[in-house]
Structure 1
Amino acid sequence: MKMLALPLLIILLQSPVCLSVTVSSSKPKVEVHEHSDAVLSCEFRTEKDQSPRIEWKKTGKGVKFVYFNHKFIDSYAKRAEIEGATLTLHSVTQKDTGEYRCEVTASADNVNLGEAIVTLNVLVPPHVPSCEIPGSVFVGKGLDLLCKDKLSVPPATYRWFKDNKAMMATVDTPYSIDTNKGTLKFKSVSKTDAGMYRCESSNNVGAPKSCVAHQLKVVDYPWNMTILIAGAAGFLILTLLCCICVCVCRHRGCCKKNKKTKSTKSYNPQPPPPPPIRNLKHYKQTQSFMI
């Protein structure tokens, strides 16, 4: 075994070593609060090249340069800095959320390109949600109260309050609550459902935020409205009955019009007119007769 190991060691020492640049990140996933600093780490090692080229790009629908040719590009120029290959973004917003790629090019190495991916997620605390609460509703009608916070990251969950008391939906309650969509649904409202309603959005980033409470009134149908609805319903029923009667009558032939017979008059033939009288002045005797 010792005799075999010695030739192998000599062969390994004499063979060329494959030199390459290596790039890595000590923290490939970064989560920071909005308006704070985000540090995107990037560490590299080269075998020969002591001055490799370093680039940062933001990927997604399109590739956008962050750091190129030893300078920051566009909006990053005034709010970013680099140390070695580690990138720091100051006062990040939701627009900075995405995937970033650190690229190191060492032209003197055999494998001269290496890269590392860092994902940045900017967390946004809850904002004041928009609430849709009508001023009044008729007794017995269905009702949906809506609440939405489109800006919070991660997406907010919702709670509803009536008269400053948290509402808890159960099997026995006349309403249901969707904590993810922010909807409060009533199948049929009653007088006891009247009160002050508000919605609260929350996530694990910041303090919950609530919209301004709104008064919901539950009213009865007015008498004139009831009479109008009843009258309209009666008119529709009467019109329908008339149409049915006309159709039945036409089907049975009751509505066919009787054809009027023309009266025949007796015909009395008239005698032919007398022949026209000739003018005697122009009459000339052509022959004479002897008796």
Structure 2
Amino acid sequence: FKFLLVNGSFLTVDRSSRPAAPVGLSVTVSSSKPRVEVHEHTDAVLSCEFRTEKDQNPRIEWKKRGKAVTFVYFNNQFAKSYVGRAKIEGATLTIHSVTQKDSGEYRCEVTASQDHVNLGEATVNLNVLVPPHVPSCDVPSSVFVGSGLELLCKDKLSVPPATYRWYKDNRALTATAETPYSIDTNKGTLKFKSVSKLDAGMYRCESSNSVGAPKSCVAQQLKVVESAAAGFVVLVLFCCICVCVCRRRGCCKSE
């Protein structure tokens, strides 16, 4: 309060009744779902809500961030790769029949030129889930007895990453401390320290994740053979035995 002397009398003035200073007006942008997960070949809805103080016709843009920032929607039209498979409702973006290539970080930008703070943005992360694909399986046709061996299995397309199971003669293999092999279910490897004749058979690998049904490669035959050195030793021993038998029977005596 402030006191003023007017015609010999004091008057009070309430300074709090003065109008407040104007508050800066601004556009606000948000997303009700900043993380979106959808299955491959379904629609992805990337929500974007905005509010402006003055501007009734703000400019709306969508961008995707990768190695470089690329436009999805700009100047009231879609970029070439999104034409015919995306739509805008308000500021919300819908992409139809998404693939793994659509995964990434998207940014919704709203520009309201008449507002005090005229730019607002919201970020939405899209993750496209992909079911297992037929894995590539690396199984050699033959291997020598006693040698080390690693069978490889890989599904590069599934999201989340696949886990793997190996089969021999259509029976699932389970590695224990007693088995002559080890299995890495995340990397898809089946390792033998020393192969024996018992390890010969038909091998295949199966990839699986939480999105779809498991997929398996075609079974491939693994043969376990004696090494050339081992064969030579056997041949020498056989010859020695033949010579000894021949001498005992007198077949090797000269006339």
Q: What is the TM-score with the length of structure 2 in the denominator?
A: 0.83
| 1:131-186 residue CA offsets vs partner (Å, 9 max, x unmatched) | 01112211111111110111111111111011111111111111001111111000
Equivalent in 178, 186, 190 of residue 192 of structure 2: 186
CA apart distance, 1:192: 1.3
Equivalent in 50, 55, 59 of residue 53 of structure 1: 59
Show the counterpart of 1:137.
143
What pairs up with 1:3-18 in 2 under 5 angstroms?
Answer: 8=16, 10=17, 13-18=19-24
1:22 aligns with 2:21: no
| 1:246-290 residue CA offsets vs partner (Å, 9 max, x unmatched) | xxxxxxxxxxxxxxxxxxxxxxxxxxxxxxxxxxxxxxxxxxxxx
Dislocated runs of 4+, deviation >6 Å? none
* Structure showing the higher strand proportion among its residues: 2
Show the counterpart of 2:91.
85
Show the counterpart of 2:209.
203
CA apart distance, 1:26: 0.4
CA apart distance, 1:14: 2.4
CA apart distance, 1:224: 8.1
Structure 1 residue ranges without an equivalent (≥5): 1-5, 231-291
What pairs up with 1:1-291 in 2 under 5 angstroms?
Answer: 8=16, 10=17, 13-221=19-227, 225-227=231-233
Structure 2 residue ranges without an equivalent (≥5): 1-13, 237-255
Change (3 A) 1:15 1:223: closer
Change (3 A) 1:25 1:140: same
Number of matched pairs: 223
| Structure 1 counterpart SS, 2:83 | helix
| 1:90-149 residue CA offsets vs partner (Å, 9 max, x unmatched) | 111111111110000011110110000001111111100010111221111111111011
In 1, Cα distance between the equivalents of 2:15 and 2:215? 74
In 2, Cα distance between the equivalents of 1:78 and 1:147? 38
* Structure showing the higher helix proportion among its residues: 1
Higher relative contact order (CA 8 A, sep 6+): 2
CA apart distance, 1:220: 2.1
What root-mean-square deviation, in Å, do the aligned CA atoms of Structure 1 and Structure 2 show?
Answer: 1.9
Work out the percentage of aligned pairs sharing the same amino acid: 77
In 2, Cα distance between the equivalents of 1:220 and 1:52? 78
- Which one has a bigger Cα radius of gyration? 1
In 2, Cα distance between the equivalents of 1:224 and 1:21? 82
Show the counterpart of 1:239.
none
